[in-house]
Structure 1
Amino acid sequence: MRRKEFEMMDSQETESFLQEVSFGVLGTTGEDGWPELTPVNFVFHEGALYFHGSKIGQKMANLKARPQVTFSVAKEYAIVPSYVLDPKLACPATAYFKSVVIKGYGEPVDDLQQKAEALGAFMRKLQPEGGYDPIDPADPAYVPQLRGTSVVRIRVERITGKYKFGQNLKERKLSQVMDGLEQRGGELDAETIALMKAYCPHHQEK
């Protein structure tokens, strides 16, 4: 059961996170009934999630047989060592992270204009500096590429988010963790502290 204090219900914040992360895991069901997981790049565009790839392969066969999918995206911000809160017990060790799970239906995008729009959204996300001709289905150079590439739209039925940044801690322990992260000074520790202040009720009230 998911703890209520870690739930993220803000749709704008969830969409912002999906725009930030480029890599997720697609869950489909194989013909033998076993779940199959495939890591893919993705883009969230106009309320749907898109990925692309070859027209053949196991994930495409799975989608054709059973279009129901689960898609998971996660980003770890900090591993919090146990000794930050307890000098002896290992129990307080934890991780702070954001995660989103999407359940929906995967459907192929066949229209070249829609493909171009989805792939254009990919490029704006993954190569924001430009350096390429716009993807245009009227451009003869792009037509064979668009026809030969499979683009899949995941029509979202349900989306849930879990953001864990110490919301379950009392103010004193929360301060201990922030002090420990500040002293450590890891790559994402400053950002983690800022997110703790943003999401934890002790700091939101101030």
Structure 2
Amino acid sequence: MQLVKKFEIKSKQKMIDFLNGQPVGRVASIDKNGYPQVIPMNFVWENGAVYMHSHPFGEKLENMARNQKVGFEVDQHVCFLPSYYFHPTDASQADTLYISVVIKGRAIIVQDNEEKARALNALMEKYQKEGRYEQLNAQMPAVHEVTVIKVVPEDMRGKYKVGQHWSAPYRLKMAQNIIDREGLQNALPVLAIMGVQVRDGKCEIASEPDM
């Protein structure tokens, strides 16, 4: 995966924080005919690996049994930037703000019930933050019955384009364009990622986007 340096996420911790802040990842395995099969999955990053839970049977598990090499990808679409932000008529100028992390690694079906319980508890903690469930343990039948997939990264890269490559005045100009197109309430989450805040109806630089 070739990355333009100015768009590369340099901090592994920030990649991990991004992963655990996103609801869906996509795992790609190779089917019996050599084609990639891409499946959206709930997931959690825990203790140096990606964990997912699965029904005990299915094509992705058959694929992983034949070939442990998989890809895993998570992305966040931040904002579409229409072409007229940049040029009055040239459609090729349209762009997108986004964040993504791509992993290449090995898929392992977890056999140890203690590890399975830890992974399942981490998934619950991520997705059901309000609690109101019983912690899972290795003795529970539910832990024995479910399949847990572990993806151990061999290569992990992140990429982001959220306006960090723009000068401060240009970033403020783009922020105002986004407000004009999307409306203030819809634009605020995008502006926060861009490091822009709105005070007294005016856009101001709040921070530098840095990953």
Is the structural similarity TM-score above 0.5?
Answer: yes
- Using the TM superposition, give the Cα deviation of residue 115 of structure 1 relative to its aligned residue in structure 2, in angstroms: 0.6
Letter in 2 for 1:9: K
Equivalenced residue count is 198
- Does residue 176 (structure 1) correspond to residue 173 (structure 2)? The answer is yes
Matched ranges for 1:49-88 at <5 A: 49-88=50-89
Q: How does 1:38-187 map to 2 (within 5 A)?
A: 38-138=39-139, 143-183=140-180, 184-185=182-183
**Offset, 1:91:** 2.3
The match for 1:192 among 190, 193, 203 is 190
Which of structure 1's runs of 4+ aligned residues deviate more than 4 A? none
Q: After superposition, what is the alpha-carbon deviation per residue over 1:25-75, rounded to whole angstroms, capped at 9, x for unaligned?
A: 111111111111111111101111001111211000000000011000001
Query: 1:99, 1:29 → 2: CA distance?
Result: 22
Distance 1:28 1:188, change over 3 A: farther
- Aligned partner letter, 2:17: S
The residue matched to 2:17 in structure 1 has which SS?
helix
Match of 2:32 in 1: 31
In 2 relative to 1, CA 187–157 (structure 1 residues): closer, same or farther, beyond 3 Å?
farther
Distance in 2 of aligned mates of 1:188 and 1:45: 32
Query: For residue 152 of structure 2, what is the amino acid of its counterpart?
Result: R
Determine the C-alpha separation between the residues in 1 that align with 2:44 and 2:69: 18
Q: Superposition RMSD on alpha carbons, in Å? A: 2.0
What is the rounded CA distance, in whole Å, between the counterparts of 1:111 and 1:87 in structure 2?
60
Residues 1:188 and 1:114: Cα distance change in structure 2 (over 3 Å) = farther
Which AA in structure 2 matches 1:190? L
Identify unmatched segments of 5+ residues in structure 2.
197-204
- Contact 1:85–1:177 (CA under 8 A) maintained in structure 2: no
SS state of the match for residue 115, structure 1? helix
Whichever residue aligns with residue 89 of structure 1, its letter is D
Aligned match of 2:200: none
Contact persistence 2:164–2:208 (CA under 8 A): no
Cα separation, 2, equivalents of 1:42 and 1:134? 18
Measure how far apart 1:146 and its partner are: 1.1
Q: Distance in 2 between matches of 1:91 and 1:34?
A: 32
Q: Secondary structure at the match of 2:138?
A: coil
User: How many angstroms does 1:177 deviate by?
Assistant: 1.1
**d(CA) in 2 for partners of 1:188 and 1:27?**
32
Which AA in structure 2 matches 1:163? Y
Contact 1:78 1:188 (C-alpha < 8 Å) held by counterparts: no
- Measure, in 1, the Cα distance between the counterparts of 2:4 and 2:106: 27
Q: Secondary structure at the match of 1:62?
A: helix
Change (3 A) 1:115 1:103: same
TM-score, length-normalised on structure 1?
0.88
